[in-house]
Amino acid sequence: MSHFAGKRIVLGITGGIAAYKAAELTRLLVKAGAAVDVVMTEAATHFVSAVTFQALAGRNVWTSLWDADQRGMAHIDLTRGADAVLVAPATADFLARLTHGMANDLLTTLCQARDCPLLVAPAMNRQMWEQPATQRNVAQLTADGIAILGPAAGEQACGEVGEGRMLEAQELVDALAAFLQPKPLAGKKVLLTAGPTFEALDPVRGLTNTSSGKMGFALARACAEAGAEVTLVAGSVSESQSRWYAGSYAKRIDVISALEMRDAVMAALPGQDVFIAVAAVADYRPAVATEHKIKKGAQTLSIELVANPDILAEVAARPDAPFCVGFAAESRNLAEYAEGKRKAKKLPLVVGNLVQDGLGGDTNRVTLFDDAGAHPLPAGDKLGIARGIVSHIARLMKCIG
Ligand code: C5P
């Protein structure tokens, strides 16, 4: 995943035990394609060595205002052309100095002199975090337009338990990636369905399909990154899928059957600007779900199925319909079937993919079908594809030029 290709990040590291996590953070950012300029405070070098970051980032590591560069202007030059400064971990002392505009080391000086966004990931003992002084500083930094990432709650290095743990490296990478995304859907409300439905036959059995929900969850995240307020109606996705989702991008409503999904969508629909139906909704459900387990014995067993409501078609047919996007997962004749669905359900946009390319996996290959024709997106991981779909939606909705 090269989500940071062409990006340059200044990573500030201050003196807390969470500094060891900054090594993994550097590795993940470099792996995702970023150029990482590491700046350490003097205290940080007591926890981790500059050599570690030199090796991981493959670039010079800056530790002092007096580090020799060509012009003696590292505090200015480092942020010129950078996409963001991320300080992780950010200690209580660093936050205090930043709040008050102090410039008494290289990191605070370059933060004052920066011309790019600044994000900080606090990390400290829970008592330090709860101190009125720290809370005042964090409120002031937020008011000054500085993004605060975390902290999380949990076990701390000192043995105490509470709020103040730095977010994990992957969480910080995800938060930074989200922060850097364009925001064409700011002020918009987006409703999505995701995952399979489960149609009960008896108390333990049912009809379902192999949809993992990953594409829908990735789209929910991409919509949130683009600035939208997101509601996600999720079918019966697995526990691991729920963990992948991390839970923080959207208001999430869990449902099991198609009928429940329909009810949840209709209840959440008023005021939505966009509806994206990603769920693999079962077309049919058993006419009756028996109260008790069906016993074996008979040589043949017939199950009567009745059609489920088509949620997307119902939403798209409403006079106050939001901008509706459908998915067409086909095993062949993609263009023909996807266009057919688009016309039949009167949708401005259908995202088509071949099931062999996407269902259940982490990657996908999709083609977008709209009034202007077919637009293939580059194959890739589902989050990258979701971002491509979101920018296409924003263009069709004239949110971006
Ligand atoms: O007609 P088909 O089921 O192939 O259309 C797929 C699209 O319609 C997907 O966007 C899917 O989420 C949506 N759909 C729905 N309710 C159904 C069946 C499909 O919203 N009962």
pLDDT in tens, 26-40: 999 999 999 999 999
- Active-site annotation holder among 111, 116, 158, 223: 158
The full set of domain ranges for the chain reads 8-180, 189-396
Distance from the alpha carbon of residue 311 to the mean position of ligand 1, in angstroms: 7
Q: Is the CB of 341 under 6 A from ligand 1?
A: yes
* pLDDT tens, position by position, 79-116: 999 999 999 999 999 999 999 999 999 999 999 999 99
Q: Known catalytic residue: 116?
A: no
pTM of the full structure = 0.88
Which is it for the CA torsion 239, 245, 153, 172, positive or negative?
positive
Q: Is the CB of 308 under 6 A from ligand 1?
A: yes
Residue nearest to atom 4 of ligand 1 (CA): 328
Strand partners, 10: 37, 85
Establish whether domains 8-180 and 189-396 are of one fold.
yes
What is the per-residue pLDDT for 28? 98
The class (CATH top level) of 8-180 is alpha beta
Distance from the alpha carbon of residue 309 to the mean position of ligand 1, in angstroms: 9
- How far CA 325 is from CA of 6, 22, 238, 309, 357, in Å, comes to 31, 40, 24, 17, 20
* pLDDT tens, position by position, 319-338: 999 999 999 999 999 999 99
Q: Is the CB of 174 under 6 A from ligand 1?
A: no
Strand bridging mode 274-277 / 147-148: unpaired
Q: Is the CB of 125 under 6 A from ligand 1?
A: no
Q: Is the CB of 281 under 6 A from ligand 1?
A: yes
189-396 placed in CATH 3.40.50.10300? yes
Mean pLDDT for all residues in the chain: 94
